[in-house]
Amino acid sequence: MSELDKLRKQIDAIDDNILELLNRRSEIVIEVGTIKRAEKSRFYKPDRERQILERLTDRNRGPFPNDALKAIYREILSASVSLEEPLKVSCLGPLATYTHLAALRHFGSSAAFLPVDGIKKVFENVETGKAEYGVVPIENSNEGVVSHTLDMFVDSELQVVAEIIIEISHNLLSKQTDRSKIRKIYSHPQGLAQCRGWLETNMPGIPVAESTSTAKAAELAAKEPHTAAIASEIAARMYDLSILERNIQDNRRNITRFLVISKEFPHRTGNDKTSIMFSIKHKPGSLYDVLMPFKRAKINLTKIESRPSKRKAWEYIFFVDMEGHIEDKKIRTAIDALSENCLYLKILGSYPQGKVS
């Protein structure tokens, strides 16, 4: 037996051990599911999943890379949750949008994804119980906040239970294999805006057309000859398109943040973020007054955004993200002080801080 054959035999033996251990793990997961069902406890716990991933990456001595380890364990955790009870997740569709990609990275491929054609419907699916969770975009590092998502929180009682932060990679997809044969390019308005410079330099004079999503653009490119789409790599696989050019976004650091919404409220993990919304009295210095409690408590505000309330002329609602959990004493104290100067105050959620993936 050659040295190569001996090494392959060792790999086969290790794979057999991994398979046996995965099935032993699954048997325990099923027992956990039985206990959760009896106690009427929720099956998916993002704080527990985060602890598992952090513990494993901290213990990993290599050479197996942590990014790959996390990707594998997300799938293991996803499959484990499905053994306890299938997890239904609503997201902005169709499948292969960047929102779907974010949901895949967070929940894994064993979740049942329910794509819908609008952010409002994502909220409705979770509110009515058609889905346990929803995934919606909230902001892009280049294009700014997604206003419609902010507006939905005004009347919704859903909580933010997690955030997903992914690096967006736009690709030029087509049935064609020669870029010179492209006569029209489809994409979502944000995709077109984020690739405007590349298009002007590399595809001058080629007309562009807006689509409802990058996935819809890929679907159109799959049907119409001599067209292309700006979309994700997963869209290329789903619609059987060739990738003519990769990473055509003008800013290579193109980050989009998504929120996971649900009816639950996650417990403190020690590395959390809290989101609130409020409106204030229309008088000089009112915004200064409401922000002072955070300064005194040395709380880092990571985002502040304002939107018209749409209920009264010149009345605005402010959305604020801060580091910390509502169960932290200084966060609770600052928010209590804030409420004294607010016309309206709502805690949108406290949840584990996301990392770029």
Task: Please report the pLDDT score of residue 20 as a whole number.
Answer: 94
d(CA 95, CA 104): 10
Instruction: Indicate yes or no: pTM above 0.85.
Output: no
57 given a catalytic annotation: no
Task: Please report the pLDDT score of residue 282 as a whole number.
Answer: 73
In the chain, where the domains are located:
3-84, 88-168+255-262, 171-245, 272-352
- Whether 88-168+255-262 and 171-245 share one fold: the answer is yes
Annotated active-site residue in 97, 227, 256, 274: 256
Task: Please report the pLDDT score of residue 310 as a whole number.
Answer: 66
Task: Please report the pLDDT score of residue 171 as a whole number.
Answer: 96
C-alpha closest to that of 133 among 43, 48, 30, 216: 43
CATH class of 3-84: mainly alpha
Fold (topology level) of 171-245: D-Maltodextrin-Binding Protein; domain 2 (3.40.190)
Is it true that domain 88-168+255-262 has CATH number 3.40.190.10?
A: yes
10 Å Cβ neighbour count for 140?
18
Evaluate whether 160 touches 351 at the Cβ level (below 8 Å): yes
Task: Please report the pLDDT score of residue 197 as a whole number.
Answer: 94
Task: Please report the pLDDT score of residue 247 as a whole number.
Answer: 93
Task: Please report the pLDDT score of residue 313 as a whole number.
Answer: 57
Annotated active-site residue in 107, 153, 258, 294: 258
Superfamily for domain range 272-352: ACT domain (3.30.70.260)
Per-residue pLDDT of the chain in tens (357 residues, 90 and over written 9):
788 888 999 999 999 999 999 999 999 988 888 887 787 777 677 777 778 888 999 999 989 999 889 889 888 988 887 787 778 999 987 888 889 999 988 888 888 899 998 899 999 999 999 999 999 999 888 777 888 898 899 889 999 999 999 988 999 999 999 999 999 999 999 899 999 999 999 999 999 999 988 999 999 999 999 999 999 999 999 999 999 999 999 987 888 999 999 998 878 888 899 999 998 877 777 888 888 989 999 999 999 988 876 666 557 789 999 999 999 999 999 999 888 888 888 999 999 888 887
Listed as own residue / partner, the contacts of 81-84 with beta carbons closer than 8 Å and 24 or more positions apart are: 81/43, 81/44, 81/107, 81/108, 81/110, 81/111, 82/110, 82/111, 83/26, 83/29, 83/30, 83/33, 84/29, 84/30, 84/32, 84/33, 84/36, 84/37, 84/43
